[in-house]
Amino acid sequence: MFARIVNRRGAMSARLRAPPPTAGRRRAECFCETDASSMTDNTLTVMPTKCATCEVLQQAPLVCADCHSLLAHVQGADYFELFGLTRRYHIDEAELNSKYLAISRNIHPDRFGGAGPEMQSFALRASAAINQAYDVLRDPHRRAEYLLESSGGKSSAEDKRVPPDLLGKVMMLREEIEDARAGGDTAALSTMRATIEKDRRAAQQRISDLCAELTANDSDAIKGELRMQLNAMKYLDNLLAQL
Amino acid sequence: MSTGELILGIDLGTTFSLVAYADARGPQVIRDADGEGRVPSVIAFAPDGKVTIGWEARRHAVENPLHTIYSIKRLMGLGIKDLEKELPYLAYRVVPGQRDVIKIDIDGELLTPQEISALILRELKARAEKHFGRPLRKAVITVPAYFDDAQRQATRDAGKLAGLEVVRIVNEPTAAALAYGIGLREVPKQKLRARSLPIGDKAKCTSESDALGGSQAPPDGSIIAVYDLGGGTFDISILRLTGDVFEVISTYGDTHLGGDDFDRAITLLVQREIHEQYGVDIDSPTTRQALRNFSEQVKIRLSTEASASIELDLGDGRVYRRTITRQEFESLTVALVERTINACQQAISDAKVRPEQIGQIVLVGGSTRIPLVRRRVEEYFGRKPYTALNPDEVVALGAAVQGQVLAGERSDALLLDVTPLSLGIETMGGAMGKLILRNTRIPCQATEMFTTFVDGQSNVKINVLQGERELAADCRSLATFDLSGIPPMPAGIPKIEVQFLIDANGILNVTAREQRSGKEASIQVIPSHGLTKDEIRRIEEESIRFAREDMTAHRMIDLRNQVEFDTHKTEQALAKFGHMLPPEERLSLEESIRVLRKLAKSTDDADKLHRALDEFGKMTLNLANLAITESLREDSAEREKVKS
Ligand SMILES: Nc1ncnc2c1ncn2[C@@H]1O[C@H](COP(=O)(O)OP(=O)(O)OP(=O)(O)O)[C@@H](O)[C@H]1O
Ligand SMILES: [Mg+2]
Ligand SMILES: [Zn+2]
């Protein structure tokens, strides 16, 4: 019964793969004309975009900052693209937030209080989509998951593999935590916390590197490796939550 | 994009309700002739069928306990099982209705909480219409942030039954934050004009001068907490203020924790002691109601005094007497206050901020006048809370500002709110499968795939839940969605995509599509605790007609009295100062008096009479000015005489 978000992302990645990212430009379905695509470190972006209504060039293909008409059907559009950000793991969170606020100022349903029902419903859906995208992008783990799945990688439900030594290590740590807790050994607990946090940082670094490689080289090996690291991260986070 | 239509801001409170509007001068509460903005959320049904609302109803509550409805907000959107703890304290009768809906039994007439709330809303609407002298129909209504979907829908339905178009449901603490933020922004301007603060009624609500310490627009990105303890509900919201954007980061609360519970602590103490001393249980509807009023008075006294003496005459020479100290009251209610502090902790941890990062704590709601509440809030956050707002009015003022935003009259404020509770569906085995987590920004969406289990199955039922618990049985069922019209296919083949969308009101909308056939599946919504569309339509048709007539009758009486008063005053002034007016003006005034009186007798159109009264008022302006100048002159002449 639980096909859930997995399916939705699957559907979306299919659309994103054709045309493949390397073949040309990727764009959301929108009313506006895409003017030009620029290339920065092998990443394709579709900015700037021209508003079909007033023809002003835009930084994000969602709403015209000038005449405020909604430009794109944002449902199913690429999350990075919605915010006019380069598709990569490293993002400037302050920039993301200020873009989010700027877009919200224009598309939030409150801005369409006097509009017709069609426009109101569009604003509602556009807002919901932008909020969803924002929630994913501002969380590093979900951001990496999104990069992986939207480039055709498997979801955590489809591929549960983890790095070979991880499971044994997690099991051992779990026992140690229980013992330390039973014995009230707070010193041991804080040492363990430090160890896990170190592992976590290492996994994070690896994820970051893999995401960078993924944008350059869309290979299954990298996707598989990234999937494993993301799965590992979940285990470590669960352990930390236990502490 | 201004719609040009005024949108009212309504705070539909457990104990008090208010209506406000905003224009270029800022938000204003609409007051009665005595300057009172609050309307008690009390409705009295007299045996002769007359319905009174507000102060009048509140005054007669004790004589008429079974027919006086109060705290109806605590019953909105709930079933009888949800109310087990509440019912023993109510003086009126509550009975189960269809599904999990409750009804109030007034001498055999059964009314839903929505219909009763609609009567309060109707009164507020009438108050605003009287103020503006024209019909108004659009409103923003506030609800506790922690209200679930059923409670929000019930509020919206109440608005509909009151003849209002509810443009938006806004969370009370968010509305308060908006009023707070806008108020600070407008301070410098106000200072220049040497006028009072636009927000609240300062003189009335605070003596602490330190409260003004923060009267400056907050720096960008600053975080505030709104602590709202009202008559029936508690909310804590954490917000980030960035320029014109009010971003709620997290919210937590309790829709059954408020001033009513503090009153109950005293009631329980008194009942217990009377039982111990005299072996009698005082628990008739009349005494319940009397004790309620009495306990509230004691509580309010203890906000300013160190102790209060109480005395209850039980008849037969038995008198219960005692002095209750503030300390005693605090020990009775400390557990309630701790519940609010725990909620603050939860909200802060959900917001992923530390208490010391919070730049301001804004107090809202009448119960924040309780000294223990202020003390504990100050201790917990480690700083003095901001009390320069009138805690009774700030929510309505914020709602009015939001009304202005929605009318397109103002674009310097945007509220980004969150959903207070996780939303999910009942999965096989009775678990709660979460689709949208609490504190997700709204509007938000989630999509889920469903399929069939039997060949040719054409219906799928989905039980939609709200809550944080793991088991479906421990969460609240919002509604059952019955998807029908699925084309016949072998089991497991249909793919029905169901989209759950929470809108900016925090209310769920569901759409479904069968993907293989591309057919929009039709959905029938059976709300667990609310009214169906048909039920609302029926109530609207039946009872509203009568309520509207009743209300118009009420307004006509007020207007006719006003006509009598105004024309009489004008006649008096004409007799005294008429000779100072040009003769044609005098004649035309005399004629207008006759015309207005005739209209008052002949018409039943309240709006028309209201307009005529307004016109008349304008015509008498000259005369009124004259009368004032003359009386001032007489007055000073008098004084001169006394001096010499
Ligand atoms: N001076 C005071 N000391 C203590 N409590 C007070 C004082 N003044 C008012 N209250 C209490 O405040 C409550 C009413 O507050 P308020 O008007 O903010 O509530 P409300 O908006 O009707 O309720 P809610 O927001 O919960 O729906 C009542 O319980 C009242 O007894
Ligand atoms: Mg309130
Ligand atoms: Zn444009």
User: What distances in angstroms separate CA B429 from CA A14, B426, B432, B449, one per listed residue?
Assistant: 33, 8, 9, 17
Q: Mean pLDDT throughout A33-54?
A: 42
What does the pLDDT look like over B459-471, one tens digit per residue?
888 899 998 888 8
More confident residue, B182 or A77: B182
Model pLDDT, residue B153? 94
Can you name the residues that pair with B11 across neighbouring β-strands?
B18, B142
Per-residue pLDDT at A44 exceeds 50: no
Model pLDDT, residue B180? 92
Model pLDDT, residue A117? 82
Q: What is the spatial distance between Cα A138 and Cα B369, in angstroms, rounded to a whole number?
A: 39
Same domain, B491 and B553: no
pLDDT grade, residue B247 (50/70/90)? very high
Residue B294 domain-assigned (yes or no): no
Residue B317 domain-assigned (yes or no): no
Model pLDDT, residue A74? 57
Same domain, B91 and B118: yes
Q: Over pLDDT 70: what percentage of chain B? A: 90
Residue B518 domain-assigned (yes or no): yes
- The partner residue sitting opposite B427, judged by closest CB among A1, A125, A127, is A1
User: What distances in angstroms separate CA A55 from CA A60, A85, A122, B1, B610, one per listed residue?
Assistant: 14, 21, 21, 21, 51
Same domain, B527 and B539: no
Give B519's DSSP letter.
E
A123 Cα–ligand 2 center, Å: 30
Model pLDDT, residue A218? 81
More confident residue, B102 or B2: B102
Q: Which residues of A touch B (CB under 8 A)?
A: 1-5, 7-8, 101, 104-105, 108-115, 124-125, 127-129, 131-132, 134-135
What does the pLDDT look like over A152-169, one tens digit per residue?
888 888 888 888 888 888
CATH of the domain at B107: 3.30.420.40
Same domain, B43 and B119: yes
Residue B375's contacts (CB-CB under 8 Å, 6 or more residues apart) are: none
What does the pLDDT look like over B616-630, one tens digit per residue?
988 888 888 888 777
Give B431's DSSP letter.
B
Q: Which atom of ligand 1 is nearest to the CA of B299?
A: 4
> Measured from the CB, is residue B258 less than 6 Å from ligand 1?
yes
Per-residue pLDDT at B331 exceeds 90: yes
More confident residue, B145 or B193: B145
> Measured from the CB, is residue B477 less than 6 Å from ligand 1?
no
Name chain B contacts of A4, Cβ cutoff 8 Å: 435, 447-449
pLDDT grade, residue B472 (50/70/90)? confident
What does the pLDDT look like over B401-459, one tens digit per residue?
999 999 999 989 999 999 999 999 988 778 888 999 999 999 999 988 888 888 888 88
Same domain, B470 and B619: no
- Residue among B115, B172, B409, B535 flagged as catalytic: B172
What does the pLDDT look like over A103-129, one tens digit per residue?
898 889 998 888 888 778 888 988 998
Based on the structure, what is the number of domains in chain B?
A: 3
Whether B529 contacts B150, CB under 8 Å = yes
Same domain, B134 and B222: yes
Same domain, B631 and B510: no
> Measured from the CB, is residue B300 less than 6 Å from ligand 1?
yes
* Interchain CB distance below 8 Å, B449 and A115: no
Q: Over pLDDT 70: what percentage of chain A? A: 69
Residue B285 domain-assigned (yes or no): no
At which of B357, B384, B416 does a domain end?
Answer: B416
B199 Cα–ligand 2 center, Å: 16
Q: Which atom of ligand 1 is nearest to the CA of B259?
A: 29
What does the pLDDT look like over A55-70, one tens digit per residue?
665 555 566 656 656 6
B105 classed as catalytic = no
pLDDT grade, residue B114 (50/70/90)? very high
Average pLDDT, chain B: 86
> Measured from the CB, is residue B9 less than 6 Å from ligand 1?
no
Pick among B444, B450, B516 to test the A interface (most A CBs inside 10 A): B444
Among the ranges B19-28, B47-56, B202-211, B284-293, which has the highest mean pLDDT value? B19-28
Q: What pTM was estimated for this model as a whole?
A: 0.79
Q: Pairing mode, if any, of strands B165-171 and B138-143?
A: parallel
User: What distances in angstroms separate CA B556 from CA B124, B130, B390, B572, B607, one per listed residue?
Assistant: 16, 11, 33, 24, 9
pLDDT grade, residue B193 (50/70/90)? very low
Name chain A contacts of B447, Cβ cutoff 8 Å: 4-5, 7-8
What does the pLDDT look like over B294-321, one tens digit per residue?
899 999 999 999 999 988 888 788 889 9
Per-residue pLDDT at B204 exceeds 70: no
Ligand nearest to the CA of B38: 1
Per-residue pLDDT at B643 exceeds 70: no
B238 Cα–ligand 2 center, Å: 17
At which of B514, B531, B548 does a domain end?
Answer: B531
The single residue listed with the structure tokens 């699925």 is B486
Residue B319's contacts (CB-CB under 8 Å, 6 or more residues apart) are: B311, B312, B313
Residue B268 domain-assigned (yes or no): no
Residue B529's contacts (CB-CB under 8 Å, 6 or more residues apart) are: B77, B78, B79, B82, B99, B100, B101, B150, B154, B476, B478
Model pLDDT, residue A81? 82
Pick among B416, B418, B501, B513 to test the A interface (most A CBs inside 10 A): B416
Give the closest-approach CA distance of B244 to chain A in angstroms: 9
Model pLDDT, residue B641? 62
What does the pLDDT look like over A169-203, one tens digit per residue?
888 888 888 888 888 888 888 888 898 999 999 99
Per-residue pLDDT at A25 exceeds 90: no
Model pLDDT, residue B220? 79
Residue with the nearest Cα to atom 21 of ligand 1?
A: B13
pLDDT grade, residue B214 (50/70/90)? very low
> Measured from the CB, is residue B14 less than 6 Å from ligand 1?
yes
What does the pLDDT look like over B250-283, one tens digit per residue?
999 999 999 999 999 999 999 999 999 988 887 7
Average pLDDT, chain A: 73
Per-residue pLDDT at B640 exceeds 70: no
Q: Which residue is closest to A113 within chain B, CA to CA?
A: B406
* Interchain CB distance below 8 Å, A131 and B446: no
Residue B474 domain-assigned (yes or no): yes
At which of B381, B416, B451 does a domain end?
Answer: B416
Model pLDDT, residue B439? 95
pLDDT grade, residue B111 (50/70/90)? very high
Residue B433 domain-assigned (yes or no): yes
More confident residue, B518 or B370: B370
Same domain, B397 and B496: no
CATH of the domain at B551: 1.20.1270.10
Same domain, B89 and B221: yes
Same domain, B488 and B553: no
Give residue B636's domain range. 535-643
More confident residue, B64 or B263: B263
> Measured from the CB, is residue B13 less than 6 Å from ligand 1?
yes
Same domain, B52 and B89: yes
* Interchain CB distance below 8 Å, A131 and B441: yes
Model pLDDT, residue A35? 33
pLDDT grade, residue B3 (50/70/90)? low
- The partner residue sitting opposite B501, judged by closest CB among A7, A114, A128, is A128
Q: What is the spatial distance between Cα B218 and Cα B185, in angstroms, rounded to a whole number?
A: 8
Q: What is the spatial distance between Cα B250 and Cα B144, in angstroms, rounded to a whole number?
A: 14
pLDDT grade, residue A75 (50/70/90)? low
- The partner residue sitting opposite A108, judged by closest CB among B2, B167, B414, is B414
Pick among A9, A107, A108, A119 to test the B interface (most B CBs inside 10 A): A108
Same domain, B458 and B359: no
CATH of the domain at B458: 2.60.34.10
A75 Cα–ligand 3 center, Å: 20
